[in-house]
Structure 1
């Protein structure tokens, strides 16, 4: 694996230009540097490191006919993947523009570090029928960021909520994780949870549950996020967000 992601433009260009180990191993520092410059490579690995990874990659010794056949197969697969990646890019762009143009999209994107893709994922799961989530507790349970409590007699057990909308949980926790880098209040909630012994995923779910109180209120009221307006949803929100 030379480049980080096989579906990145530079990785697809590389395997199309050098579809066989033999063709790739003929690369020297100058040609690799030229190739990287042509494709705007801005990765952290140096040219020598890229070549080193290439030279130490696992290899086999097939015959010339097999090399030719597999080279053509790799080229075809790379071309197909490139077309799929381009279609994904176009669809993502359309989704982003649609979210940005919608009123609900503006509400979700008003939260710290809530990008258009994340907002689209959240809105797709929330839908437009606000009565479906008549309380923040119901929304939090749907999103899987509240634990499940089992009670029997005098015993009481709290466990991770497995049964939930997993797509919504991924989207909400992604927003929460991003927000702690832009919101002092979110960072405080996260660090407090970590200090209590929670691991990263648990701390993020705690933060997501806290954010959902504000998201639910803003969504129900059809207004963008404002730390002062929504301070009532969560204590200390306005003071930490300035």
Structure 2
């Protein structure tokens, strides 16, 4: 008995999922709403298998629903939310949002336009693990910055002399100083009589290797605006300083330990050498690029698709004599951040990158725009190395660089 082709669509959420199955003529065969749970996902798979569905349309390419469908042998096709909004107009002018209707739109679009969207191929476990650690590190960095700013605000009111004493507020020597002298009153011991001997002894005991002399540091403390020196407010400031110093120390230690694990994972990854070979990539940047680009070559069939996914290629709209080029907002924000962070540093080590960036600035582009132009130019080279499983070689990929520069 010949099985009639059927297509599935799922409008997902973290609470429940709407499922719709249509036949080859677009008629609705099944509609259901199931809870976001293990039994709910099992019910979805059972329903899809019973109706002979092989391909399922959904609005995102990752998450537990996608992973479950892939494990159960379905082809998962991603149709972005913006495309779904446009597709609703096929079935009426109201454009109302309804979960079951969106599931139908996804299923019917898969029936009529399957060739317009690509099937999701999951990354390997090594890449997924690396991505989890890289993004966790980014969260730690964001937390560290937040705590740093909180500590800075406390010191500006209670101990202004500690601000700017060392090159950075959250480096080990600065944190050690604040742990030993958390208030202006306790630091006064260092500057009594204006002698630098006590400061020199403390610096030596704590392994200070900076460029400032003990006398210079004493003068900085002496010249600073006076903060709170006594009373409940000064005591509260000291308590807050010690609390935030301990928190910053812990975050730095955990970040350092996580970075070590990231470097280990990068060295063990089959694609690790490709990304490490890129100029100014180092280890953490290389790991971040690899984690966000992934290892599924089918995800980006050409350099243009990679540039568009990263949001470094402009969005062009043209109709008749009208042409508008705008910033691309719909993209993988993590991939864009990783690509631009790396690309904007490459002019320091690559003559072609420096020339591409300077030419963009000479045309009147501000730094963020010029950095995106450079990142777009690098995507052609990065894509070629990634696709060919080869490390970056200026001699081998020089022609690609020349072509990209001409296009820029």
TM-score range, shorter chain: 0.7 to 0.9
CA change 1:61–1:233 in 2 (3 A) is same
Offset of residue 159 of structure 1: 1.9
Match of 2:182 among 19, 33, 38: 19
Quote the Cα distance in structure 2 between the aligned partners of 1:32 and 1:236. Answer: 58
CA change 1:165–1:51 in 2 (3 A) is farther
Cross-structure match for 1:219: 386
1:1-242 matched pairs, under 5 angstroms: 1=163, 2-28=165-191, 29-43=196-210, 45-55=212-222, 56-57=224-225, 59-63=227-231, 66-235=233-402
TM-score by length of 1: 0.86
Residue ranges of structure 2 left out of the alignment (5+ in a row): 1-162
Instruction: Give secondary structure in 1 for the equivalent of 2:334.
Output: helix
Could you give the per-residue CA deviations for residues 33-70 of structure 1, whole angstroms, max 9, x where no partner exists? Answer: 3333444444455544433443414512441x554454
Larger Rg: 2
Quote the Cα distance in structure 1 between the aligned partners of 2:398 and 2:303. Answer: 16
Instruction: Give secondary structure in 1 for the equivalent of 2:402.
Output: coil
Residue ranges of structure 1 left out of the alignment (5+ in a row): 238-242
Offset of residue 202 of structure 1: 2.1
Could you give the per-residue CA deviations for residues 99-157 of structure 1, whole angstroms, max 9, x where no partner exists? Answer: 12322111011111111000111111112212111111111112121112233542212
CA change 1:61–1:35 in 2 (3 A) is closer
CA change 1:164–1:62 in 2 (3 A) is farther
Higher relative contact order by CA 8 Å / sep ≥ 6: 1 or 2?
Answer: 1
Give the number of aligned pairs. 236
Cross-structure match for 1:240: none
What is the root-mean-square deviation in Å for CA atoms of aligned residues?
Answer: 2.4
